Structure 1
Amino acid sequence: MQSALYERTYWANSIRAFYPAQRYLLPCSQVIGPEKLGNDKNTRKGARKARQWRSRSCNSRRNGVRAMPCSSSGTTSGGGGGGVGGDENGSLRCLKLNEATFLASLMPKKEIGADRFIESHPEYDGRGVLIAIFDSGVDPAAAGLQVTSDGKPKILDVIDCTGSGDVDTSKVVKADADGCILGASGASLVVNPSWENPSGEWHVGYKLVYDLFTDSLASRVKRERKKKWDENNQEEIAKAMKQLDEFNQKHINPEDINLKKVREDLQSRIDLLRKQADSYDDKGPVIDAVVWHDGKLWRAALDTQSLEEEPDCGKLANFIPLANYRMERKFGVFSKLDACTFVLNVYDEGNVLSIVTDCSPHGTHVAGIATAFHLKEPLLNGVAPGAQLISCKIGDSRLGSMETGTGLTRALIAAVEHKCDLINMSYGEPTLLPDYGRFVDLVNEVVNKHRLIFVSSAGNSGPALSTVGAPGGTTSSIIGVGAYVSPAMAAGAHCVVEPPSEGLEYTWSSRGPTADGDLGVCVSAPGGAVAPVPTWTLQKRMLMNGTSMASPSACGGIALLISALKAQGIPVSPYSVRKALENTSVPVGESLADKLSTGQGLMQVDKAHEYMQQCRSIPCVCYEIKINQCGKATPTLRGIYLREAIACQQPTEWTVQVEPRFHEGASNLEELVPFEECIELHSSEKAVVRTPEYLLLTHNGRSFNIVVDPTKLSHGLHYFEVCGIDCKAPWRGAVFRIPITITKPMSVNNRPPIVSFPKLSFLPGHIERRYIEVPYGASWVEANMLTSGFDTTRRFFVDTVQV
């Protein structure tokens, strides 16, 4: 079996209260007995990542493994208000919520300094900033997503980049003398005589409506239709039974063969009605679509009679024709039953009609966190209420809302064509190779050439290390965001009885480093909110949490920053904005290793703005780090990551190449040639990481060597940094960082191989990490836990990761 490290992570939660104040003591032992070990010859030697979860419900004495402050599943969380005795980022020690602070905690802005910034600069609330939302689709009818704070349209375009709502309308028909056309479904349709159609050509197509609905919406509509159908069917059964009873009363013992046939026919009718109730299968209503050119624009109309109960409702002639959303910004609703909003876009000279609906509430919720504006409820505004947005649906309804490469590529093209300032993508999944692939290449082009700032979620697979997802946590040109929870959020949005005294990273928020040593998480932002959701959910707002919520919170904060920079004439660059966020963030946690969870910390909009004002004359440049181990033919890395026991047995030397990168189109004579920086190199722990003192850096880059000596480190997690500081402007902070992560495992030399960790003490949200060198020949492990000191049921989690 290939040698690997197992990371054990424990954290606790209370069933009775979210954050119980009492500290509990857990004598915990993990036993690997000789009879439990085996040589599994079928074990895959090349498995890149195998996750093993074990969860048990824990009563007063025994049990195993699992708990966390908040779940990252479908319902949300949010927060951000202030309270008595509060500090600037929501770490409230004597928390008391009134109505105002409770509402503010539902849409957290205080934690990242957004409320302070808007209070000081109300005109820089996102105005002049356009954000592309790469997600499941945004409902233009959702609460707070109609206009900006200065009265402009909130949503400028709604696009289905997946093609899941496309209708083939290549068939062309002409109307008869009565104004009727034959629809693609075979239905006869009457067009409205007031519709202008100089050519007289009507493009027709059809779509099953359930193909446009989410699973939950389709289930609700099916239930309602089934209920109505059952009522009608029961009425028909009652009528048939009444007719049979009347016949039997009139003809008690009919001898005539014709009367017998009538009686059999009545009975068969009842049997058939009852039988069809058992075989009921609702394939869904059919929507006929008609597309034409009115001499100026392509327009489309839908016939939705099959969705309506009233015979005169939903007729094609009664439909108000729609043009492409970006032209007139109008939308429709299929019916009162579904309350589902849709947008129509016509492509390919009328041969394709795109019916755009969302494939989950996720995208609307994300858009609301970033930009929602409520005139009468300002505390529920999004982070940047003045910003505008375009919706790029990348979640394919046919694939359960999963994104595709084609959809992502189309979304990037749309963002560039609309000249967006920001992209938010709260999507992602694990990847085999970090910072690699066609989509990564396209993102690099969008960021480096077109200067769009790309923000994305880091993932919800924590708390184990190396769980950041792609693209947010693994791509250098993307700002990956982790999820933070403040006491105000815990008390207000999560309804916790006893909130924590200080803010912390959600335990499920993914952690770095990446497989090639990069930090993974850039910054953190509030990871929950009560935000708008689509109208078909039959509610205005919903509680959700996840790094999917942290990303738009950060994106909205960056929109405030861009709004100010544009108004003040300060150049906006993804490089300088990222550096401002990283060097002004508030650290979360007590140790340097917490950066693997939180990135550089909790972002602060107002501090980043001050930083950017000072940096207006600094060249817009990023620093690409390439690392190779001396004397070994290893892939180029972005950081140093020592996991195996053999890597910690002796010092290693590494070559670091630092290459300044300018945006495409930078002037050779005005920007590249004059660039020169005197860099002072700082090691966070010189006894472990030895570096040169200074480095003269020019446009062509420079290399230097560093030595990492883990031999004297104790077992466990260790994190160090080498920071490059501009000697002429040390106030800039680190212009580049080299992350060094060491997980030094403990060896198991005794036989049988037993490892014990006695008397571990836990609070909810607390994480203990243990690293064990896998004994020779072992292919699996058994963990036992013994607990004490509980008066109610508790849950504990063990999270193990093999890389």
Structure 2
Amino acid sequence: MRQQSSRGRRALTALLASGMVAGAAALSGPAPANAAPVQPPAPAPVADPATPKNAPTDELDSHDAELLAQAESSGAQAVTLIISTETGQASDVAAEVKKLGGTVSQRYDKVGYVLASVPTAKVVKTAKLAGVSAVDLDEKIQLPGPDQTGGAKGSAQGATLSGPDAKTPAANPYMPTEEIGSVAFKKKHPTWDGRGVTIGIMDSGVDLDHPALKQTTTGERKIVDWVTATDPVFEGDATWRAMATQVTGPTFTYLGATWTAPTGTWKINRFTEAITAASAPAGDVNRDGDTTDVFGILYNADTHDIRVDVNQNRDFTDDAVMRPYREKFDVGHFGIDKPATPVVESMPFVVEYREDVDASAAGLPGLTDYVNIGIPEDLHGTHVAGITAANDMLGNRNFDGQAPGAKIVSSRACSWGGGCTAAALTTGMVDLVVNRHVDVVNMSIGGLPALNDGNNARSDLYNKLIKDYGVQMFISAGNSGPGVNTIGDPSVASDVVSVAASVSKDTWLSNYGSVVKKENALFNFSSRGPREDGGFKPNLAAPGSAISTINTWIEEPGIPEAGYTLPIGYYHANGTSMASPQAAGGAALLLSAAKATDLDVTPAQLRRALYTAAEPIKNTSVAGQGNGMMDVNGTWSLLAKTVETRTYTSSAPVCTPFSAGFATPNQGQGIFNRCASGSGGLKAGQSKTLTVKVTRTSGPKAAVTHRLSWVGDKGSFRSQSSLSLPLNKAVNISVTVTPEEGLNSAILKVDDPKTSVTDFEVLNTVVTSVVPKKPAFAMVAEDSVERNSSNSYFVTVPEGATALQVDLSGIATGSQTRWIAINPWGVPVESTSSLACYTNFSDAAACKPQERAYENPMPGVWELEVESRRTSPSLRNPYELTAKVQGVTVEPATVELPSVTAGVATPVTWTVKNNFGPLRLTATGGPLGSAKSARPTIENGATQEYSVVVPAGAARLDVAIGNVSDGAADLDLAVFLGAVRVGIAADGDSEEAVSIPNPAAGTYRVVVDGYAVPSGTTLYDYRDVFISPALGATTVPATVLNLANGASAPVTGSVTAVAVPEAGRSLFGEMTLVTDEGAVVGRGTVSIGAVN
């Protein structure tokens, strides 16, 4: 899939013309709009992401192609692949991977899963192996941090509650389980409280010592298994220790120290607590205040008995023999608790082993056994586990999670530093379902790729596990909302229940001290659908705020906004991470009921009943809430009867920046259109008829009449009220769309009235936008937003725009209001954290809450959502939002000076024309640069290198390539200083640029990679430049230019060279045009042929 990037073209044109780029390719992410200026001014927030890379084979998507390009440019010798195979092909694929020089870590034949480390050069060949369905490159996914309530600013909004205690009733707003009906369900059916059901918690690990996670309601052990899902070799998780050194008891010397052990032959290694420094333990697992402790591990390779030297006396004879947790429930402890203090000064741990691990990728010979020290990486997993199944929190028999009678299996997929690898999330999920025999799984982890269509190896494997093993997964929708199409991966997998985060009026008060009018709503941060292909996500909503369990050795702050503190072991957090376990716990109740009544319930039946019974949240887009709030009682009333499930497929027109690259171009599962009106999009108020095709693929052989109905924005979508669906034959439904301005979304329900459930749904989403017109080229919205709510506006940014300037004004005294910009790919371009960029709240030095510019914005439909914070003193918060499209052309783009005299100012003149709305501009100059230019030829798959000697004191190093003779070529660019890669540009075209501010002096190595050249060879332009005051300067008078739309004005300055460039290099300068609000909207350059 290849998408053109105007940003890439503009950045390259500027650089190849002048050798200077501001913010071309970020080294560590976008710079804030008000960052300290480096000449010229620092870049504004990144508005236009890189062009998607064209995948070299169908089994890899564009995101994986980008990961592969990064691995190649960094010199990585091998990468980890997640491979989904066709049925029965896993063994053959694994064998072929080994022939290609790969190392296989995991293989599940029935599932069709292979995890392997493969030479980077053999990734494409691996993906093309016979029997391979899809391949993902491993990557780290950041664990969602709890959205803390700290930093309260604002006046009291009303009377607050006192917080949960020993008298808190079962139905309460702190842990709002009743909002999906579970308290009433358990009251009516007290033995259907989760007993008989085991929930898999795929997360950061669960605290084994928490009192509310010790026992079920029947007195049984609650946590019945605890495992680590990370790979011992591939992922760098240092809790896995290679047991490669053999010693003999009763005494031996190891690493310079004398150790004591029982008589016999052993393997030994050590676990170092400092490896946890970047996570919740903070490098101190025994809680003694330092991070220097090291613990010996003794392992019997024959019996697999394990001993850990917890007291660090180097004597294993006083340490207990430990087995993997599920065998004997052995739990060890680092540190000794002090009962007089509320926080626990010790950390529980478990052990496990893996036999005969191929450790060649780690440089170890042959097969090696590994031992793991199992400890939680973060509080997140314990908080999630408490929501699903805590029993008697705070010692209160009524204060529970959703399913207090359920058991838990904890699988830690997150390694040290807050990241969870895709490989661990896949291996761990397979292990939970296949080997740990859980009944339902919760995973509150995910990310937001630009292409979130669920078409990847992990989604494929999750769907297989659900269907083939009968275990339903519930996964958080993501915290990137409220923008359209921000739904997170892997909740986009078709058969996964993707859960959005709701919040009630009562919980706003109890958990935040915040007063609202709406009885129920979605959190602003909750990611919205649809999928990129129009697919139906999210599926359900559930409460996304909870006071729940956390690790007892962590001391967290109280809740100042709500007016109370919580005891050790309890914490308030919000996120879709909290919503998903509410739904998973609710499902555990339903499965408990099914088991108690000898009712077999398949995942398909569970989903059909859940989606049918869900209760829509009033005045909330179905693209955000899916089918609505989960309803345990309503779902059980359907499951208690026979639920007949059938399978259907749908096909509908899609128009997005990615849709042309779909397997069937511009066709997806549901109508989804967010294109500009001149590029295939719809206009507000104008009707258009679109065709949705539905195929029934199971059920009766004869045709079946189905009712058609709409839920959501019913006024924007119309169709016939019924249709007859034969078996395995597509039938067209004519849908007339008459959209209003902004977001329009509705569910088309396809229902056979003879079945007890709604049989099929199609989500349909259409966005219409404001097209800024001359002379102002601006959109102005004046309105108000309620506390904790949001309003969205959509604006079309045309080709040629060099900045999108957004201003927020008309704010009431003390009002805490902000906007967030979401680009046409459905990706927020700035933080969605509840602490970021509000008026009268956030640090204006970190982010300007009242004006920001998005330079070189991606053409297409942008979403600007305005929201008010929970601590805003006013319920209603007025504002005026203005979005201005800006851009100029500069003629000539480059002033050519054949020669200049050193030390003498040479005049230069440009003409600036304003192509969009009125501008107040100032021209600025800056130091000259020394450039090298070339137009070489590169072959497909080849690399070429260049050296750049950068002197001390340079202001910037810019490198660019592009203007290829083969228009379909994809070249990549990387810059190294020594062995360290300091910059990379590797998207899906050949127009790549890297900019390094204030580069260290030294010799830089530039690598150009011919990633894909269809014609075999291509010419390309190359230029590198370093900017240095020692070379001279471009000087421009600080004259203010007031330009209306279409107006032009001259800019006259001078160039003074004070140094002669090295042979093969030339000097040039740059003039930058900056608006009165700080946005760079244009550049002119000057090229110097010779210095006399």
TM bracket, shorter-chain basis: 0.7 to 0.9
Are positions 1:117 and 2:171 aligned together? no
Contact 1:125 1:560 in 2 (8 A): yes
Partner secondary structure for residue 412 of structure 1 = helix
Aligned mate of 1:302, from 308, 312, 325: 308
Q: Which residue of 2 aligns with 1:742?
A: 766
Q: Which residue of 2 aligns with 1:229?
A: none
Contact 1:629 1:654 in 2 (8 A): no
Q: Which residue of 2 aligns with 1:202?
A: 266
- Report the TM-score, using the length of structure 1 for normalisation: 0.73
Q: Which residue of 1 aligns with 2:588?
A: 559
Partner secondary structure for residue 720 of structure 1 = strand
Q: Which residue of 2 aligns with 1:797?
A: 819
- What do residues 157-194 of structure 1 show as CA deviations (whole Å, max 9, x unaligned)? 1111103221111322222xxx22334x343222257x
Are positions 1:363 and 2:381 aligned together? yes
Q: Which residue of 1 aligns with 2:444?
A: 426
Quick check: 512-521 or 686-695, which moved more? 686-695
Partner secondary structure for residue 440 of structure 1 = helix
Aligned mate of 2:146, from 48, 52, 74: 74
Are positions 1:752 and 2:786 aligned together? no
Are positions 1:511 and 2:583 aligned together? no
Contact 1:134 1:411 in 2 (8 A): yes
Partner secondary structure for residue 541 of structure 2 = strand
Give the counterpart letter for 2:733 in structure 1. I
Are positions 1:531 and 2:548 aligned together? yes
Task: Return the alpha-carbon distance in structure 1 between the equivalents of residues 508 and 715 of structure 2.
Answer: 40
Superposition deviation, residue 586 in structure 1: 2.0
Q: Which residue of 2 aligns with 1:342?
A: 349
Give the counterpart letter for 2:818 in structure 1. F
Aligned mate of 2:176, from 108, 120, 139: 108
Are positions 1:599 and 2:669 aligned together? no
Give the counterpart letter for 2:547 in structure 1. V
How do 1:526-675 and structure 2 match up within 5 A?
Answer: 526-538=543-555, 539-590=568-619, 594-614=621-641, 616=642, 618-627=643-652, 634-644=665-675, 645=677, 646-648=680-682, 651-660=688-697
More helix by percentage: 1
Closer/same/farther in 2, CA of residues 746 and 603 from structure 1, 3 Å limit:
same
Contact 2:615 2:629 in 1 (8 A): yes
Task: Return the alpha-carbon distance in structure 2 between the equivalents of residues 766 and 608 of structure 1.
Answer: 29
Are positions 1:764 and 2:798 aligned together? no
More strand by percentage: 2
Q: Which residue of 2 aligns with 1:245?
A: none
How do 1:113-512 and structure 2 match up within 5 A?
Answer: 113-162=181-230, 163=232, 164=237, 165-175=239-249, 179-183=250-254, 185-192=255-262, 200-212=264-276, 215-218=279-282, 225=289, 284-292=292-300, 297-306=303-312, 315-336=315-336, 339-348=346-355, 351-374=369-392, 376-397=395-416, 400-431=418-449, 432-472=451-491, 474-496=492-514, 498-512=515-529
Contact 1:214 1:359 in 2 (8 A): no
Task: Return the alpha-carbon distance in structure 2 between the equivalents of residues 576 and 706 of structure 1.
Answer: 26
Closer/same/farther in 2, CA of residues 457 and 788 from structure 1, 3 Å limit:
closer
- What do residues 35-86 of structure 1 show as CA deviations (whole Å, max 9, x unaligned)? xxx9x9996673699xxxxxxxxxxxxxxxxxxxxxx853568xxxxxxxxx
Contact 1:626 1:637 in 2 (8 A): yes
Partner secondary structure for residue 173 of structure 2 = helix
Contact 2:770 2:779 in 1 (8 A): no
Superposition deviation, residue 95 in structure 1: 9.4
Partner secondary structure for residue 650 of structure 2 = strand
- What do residues 561-580 of structure 1 show as CA deviations (whole Å, max 9, x unaligned)? 01001111222111111121
Gaps of 5+ in 2: 8-42, 54-61, 63-143, 150-157, 338-344, 357-367, 556-567, 826-1092
Task: Return the alpha-carbon distance in structure 1 between the equivalents of residues 47 and 215 of structure 2.
Answer: 60
Task: Return the alpha-carbon distance in structure 2 between the equivalents of residues 346 and 123 of structure 1.
Answer: 37
- CA-based RMSD of the aligned residues comes to 3.5
Aligned mate of 1:721, from 731, 734, 747: 747
Superposition deviation, residue 388 in structure 1: 0.9
Closer/same/farther in 2, CA of residues 443 and 222 from structure 1, 3 Å limit:
closer
Contact 2:212 2:549 in 1 (8 A): yes
Superposition deviation, residue 113 in structure 1: 0.6
Contact 1:409 1:439 in 2 (8 A): no
Partner secondary structure for residue 281 of structure 2 = helix
- What do residues 619-662 of structure 1 show as CA deviations (whole Å, max 9, x unaligned)? 3334333335799952541111111213216735334133446x
Task: Return the alpha-carbon distance in structure 2 between the equivalents of residues 428 and 786 of structure 1.
Answer: 35
Task: Return the alpha-carbon distance in structure 2 between the equivalents of residues 495 and 403 of structure 1.
Answer: 36
Task: Return the alpha-carbon distance in structure 1 between the equivalents of residues 594 and 753 of structure 2.
Answer: 26
Closer/same/farther in 2, CA of residues 799 and 575 from structure 1, 3 Å limit:
same
Closer/same/farther in 2, CA of residues 528 and 189 from structure 1, 3 Å limit:
same
Task: Return the alpha-carbon distance in structure 2 between the equivalents of residues 171 and 771 of structure 1.
Answer: 63
Partner secondary structure for residue 428 of structure 1 = coil
Superposition deviation, residue 484 in structure 1: 1.1
Partner secondary structure for residue 601 of structure 1 = coil
Give the counterpart letter for 1:292 in structure 2. N
Quick check: 336-345 or 134-143, which moved more? 336-345
- What do residues 365-422 of structure 1 show as CA deviations (whole Å, max 9, x unaligned)? 111110111284123311101111111111122x533223245224313322222110
Give the counterpart letter for 2:741 in structure 1. H
Closer/same/farther in 2, CA of residues 604 and 352 from structure 1, 3 Å limit:
same
Superposition deviation, residue 713 in structure 1: 3.4
Gaps of 5+ in 1: 5-37, 50-71, 78-91, 194-199, 227-281, 307-311, 662-671
Partner secondary structure for residue 608 of structure 1 = helix
Task: Return the alpha-carbon distance in structure 1 between the equivalents of residues 248 and 283 of structure 2.
Answer: 37
- Report the TM-score, using the length of structure 2 for normalisation: 0.54
- What do residues 336-382 of structure 1 show as CA deviations (whole Å, max 9, x unaligned)? 37522211112217922111111111111111110111284123311
Contact 1:169 1:352 in 2 (8 A): yes
Partner secondary structure for residue 610 of structure 1 = helix
Give the counterpart letter for 2:754 in structure 1. K
Q: Which residue of 1 aligns with 2:537?
A: 520
Closer/same/farther in 2, CA of residues 94 and 675 from structure 1, 3 Å limit:
farther
Contact 1:94 1:501 in 2 (8 A): no
Closer/same/farther in 2, CA of residues 452 and 76 from structure 1, 3 Å limit:
farther
- What do residues 412-457 of structure 1 show as CA deviations (whole Å, max 9, x unaligned)? 1332222211011100001224211111111111111111101000
| Matched pairs, number | 639
Task: Return the alpha-carbon distance in structure 1 between the equivalents of residues 46 and 452 of structure 2.
Answer: 27
Closer/same/farther in 2, CA of residues 491 and 222 from structure 1, 3 Å limit:
same
- What do residues 214-270 of structure 1 show as CA deviations (whole Å, max 9, x unaligned)? 5342356799656xxxxxxxxxxxxxxxxxxxxxxxxxxxxxxxxxxxxxxxxxxxx
